[in-house]
Amino acid sequence: MPSGHLMRIHGAEFQAMAERVLRATELTSRLNVLPFEDEPGKAELFEQILGRPLPARVTIYPPFYTDHGLRLDLAERVFINQNCMFLDYAGIRLGERVMIGPKATFITVGHPVDPGERREWLTGGPIDVAENVWIGAGATILPGVSIGRDSVIAAGAVVADDVPPASLVTGGKATLNRQW
């Protein structure tokens, strides 16, 4: 679902997505009960969740949640801490050396604000996180956001707008505090 596009909830595309959500939920529920040291078991489930093996030196600490998985693109040396959520139907790309704190949430789909359209449509846009970004604990990244290289998203920030490279953003709705 490209940025700014709509998907009819009662259409075939939505039905296919809903089926994948059930499969991804089943796979992540299995992943999240494995013993932490079961590296082969975790690798096998991540391959099924993502549709391909984890890239080199990617570290993900369960519990891990995704509603789709097949549109989560992880570069090498990404670190994802515990309890993160990736609603990736419209696509999420994490560049090399991205670090994500616990309980961070990435959301690529939503609903229109208009109550008459809310139960009929999904809206969305991809999330793109450039190289060497650090996303703090509990941060929320909303649909269509791009985060520039070397930026820091403070713990608890809600990022609804693009972030320039080498920036620090903070706050309930993230605001640009400085660039370097």
Identity of the residue numbered 18: A
Residues classed as catalytic? 111
Closest CA to 32 of 58, 59, 5, 66: 66
For 131-177, give the DSSP string.
Answer: TT-EE-TT-EE-TT-EE-TT-EE-TT-EE-S-B-TTEEEETTTTEEE
Closest CA to 61 of 77, 48, 44, 42: 42
